[in-house]
């Protein structure tokens, strides 16, 4: 004997709620978060260092937060730009969550900061599902990673407001097929802008910063088709009433405030499901004890998943 209750709870509602709250709070302070997603080794840190240096030259108040499973090497590199930088060690967790970012920014983010660049954990799978409260989400990949990467990681590229190609100076050596790549990007995220950059040669350096500044000044970022979420209501449709709607907020994962009332006419046959596999990130190596930049903190995600993820 049992009873079924319909629930309609968005699984990531808590994170989405925290993200929305953080986005609003930061907006009130005049700050915009830029969330950078890429695979390890894509050249994200090198590009970011160049962008931060450029920002400093222009007298822009920017800051950066870099997340890694372990080591403070990236923060050390980014700190050379002279802007405030903080290392976050996730202790093996494969992604950042909005509440973790908030914990990191609290008491650290200097007043008047216009842009905060968040270098997410090097991983194109998990971070894609977590809204951090950013206004601009950027998916980066280098020309050495293959033209089909956007198809392999459709959530990361499909939800990006901007796509950045790095190491463009190696395109010829890597036999990078730019036309095929652009077609693949278009398939998962029609209309998204693609920037080609090379931190080493200086190509395109400053463009990412320009786009971020534009958003901070009120420009509306590109809205990906995939962000068109078909209703993810939180809250219940049954007698539970409001009790499950306790501030976990609205199922939208981005702040575009879309409220389409699509009917759910999808068929319920099991799709053959596309599966993007990814390795488990069980690493729990701790960073070294030296402290070259702001003391790294080890955030506890609100779900205490550090050991398990």
Partner 1 sequence: MHEMSVALALVDQVAEAARADGRERALAVHVQIGELAGVVGDALDFAFELAREGTPLEGARLVVETVPARARCRDCAGEFAVGAPPDLTCRGCGGTNVELLSGRELRITAVEWADGPAYAASAGQKG
Minimum CB distance to partner 1 smaller for 14 or for 167: 14
- Interface residue with partner 1 among 179, 280, 289, 290 (CB under 8 A) is 280
> Is 274 an interacting residue with respect to partner 1 (CB under 8 A)?
yes
HSE-up of residue 114 (Cα within 13 Å, Cβ side): 18
Chain positions 213 to 232 lying near partner 1, rule: CB under 8 A, are 225-226, 228-230, 232
Tokens of 216: 């901070």
- Interface residue with partner 1 among 12, 163, 164, 195 (CB under 8 A) is 12
CA 181 to chain centre: 21
Chain positions 16 to 45 lying near partner 1, rule: CB under 8 A, are none
Strand 294-297 to strand 193-196: parallel, antiparallel, or no bridges (unpaired)?
A: unpaired
- Interface residue with partner 1 among 106, 111, 243, 289 (CB under 8 A) is 243
> Is 266 an interacting residue with respect to partner 1 (CB under 8 A)?
yes
- Interface residue with partner 1 among 29, 80, 186, 284 (CB under 8 A) is 186
Q: What is the CA radius of gyration of the chain?
A: 20
Residues in the chain: 309
Minimum CB distance to partner 1 smaller for 28 or for 239: 239
Task: Report whether 259 contacts 22 (CB < 8 A).
Answer: no
> Is 130 an interacting residue with respect to partner 1 (CB under 8 A)?
yes
For residue 3, give every residue at least 6 positions away whose Cβ sits within 8 Å of its Cβ, in sequence order, or none: none
**Span near partner 1 by CB under 8 A; candidates 42-50, 53-61, 133-141, 150-158:** 150-158
> Is 308 an interacting residue with respect to partner 1 (CB under 8 A)?
yes
Chain positions 89 to 118 lying near partner 1, rule: CB under 8 A, are 93-95, 97
> Is 155 an interacting residue with respect to partner 1 (CB under 8 A)?
yes
Q: From CA 167, how far away is CA 198, in angstroms rounded?
A: 5
Task: Report whether 72 contacts 195 (CB < 8 A).
Answer: no
Residue whose token pair is 């198809």: 151
């Amino acid at each position: 004997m049992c009873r079924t209750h319909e629930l309609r709870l968005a699984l990531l509602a808590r994170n989405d709620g925290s993200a929305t709250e953080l986005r609003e709070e930061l907006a009130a302070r005049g700050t915009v978060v830029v969330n950078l997603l890429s695979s390890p080794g894509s050249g994200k840190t090198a590009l970011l260092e160049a962008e931060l240096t450029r920002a400093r030259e222009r007298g822009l108040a920017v800051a950066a937060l870099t997340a890694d499973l372990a080591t403070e090497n990236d923060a050390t590199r980014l700190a050379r730009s002279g802007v405030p930088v903080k290392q976050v060690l996730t202790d093996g967790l494969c992604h950042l969550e909005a509440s973790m970012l908030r914990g990191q920014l609290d008491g650290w983010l200097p007043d008047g900061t216009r842009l905060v660049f968040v270098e997410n954990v090097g991983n194109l799978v998990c971070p894609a599902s977590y809204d951090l409260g950013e206004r601009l989400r950027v998916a980066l990949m280098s020309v050495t990673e293959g033209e089909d990467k956007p198809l392999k990681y459709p959530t990361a590229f499909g939800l990006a407001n901007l796509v950045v190609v790095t190491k463009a100076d190696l395109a010829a050596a890597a036999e990078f097929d730019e036309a095929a790549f652009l077609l693949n990007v278009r398939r998962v995220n029609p209309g998204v802008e693609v920037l080609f950059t090379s931190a080493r040669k200086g190509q395109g350096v400053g463009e990412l910063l320009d786009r971020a500044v534009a958003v901070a000044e009120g420009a509306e970022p590109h809205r990906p088709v995939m962000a068109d979420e078909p209703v993810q209501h939180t809250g219940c449709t049954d007698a539970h009433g409001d009790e499950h709607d306790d501030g976990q907020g609205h199922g939208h994962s981005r702040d575009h405030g879309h409220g389409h009332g699509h009917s759910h006419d999808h068929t319920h046959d099991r799709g053959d499901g596309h599966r993007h596999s990814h390795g488990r990130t069980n690493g729990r190596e701790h960073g070294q004890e030296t402290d070259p930049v702001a003391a790294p903190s080890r955030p506890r995600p609100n779900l205490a998943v550090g050991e398990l993820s």
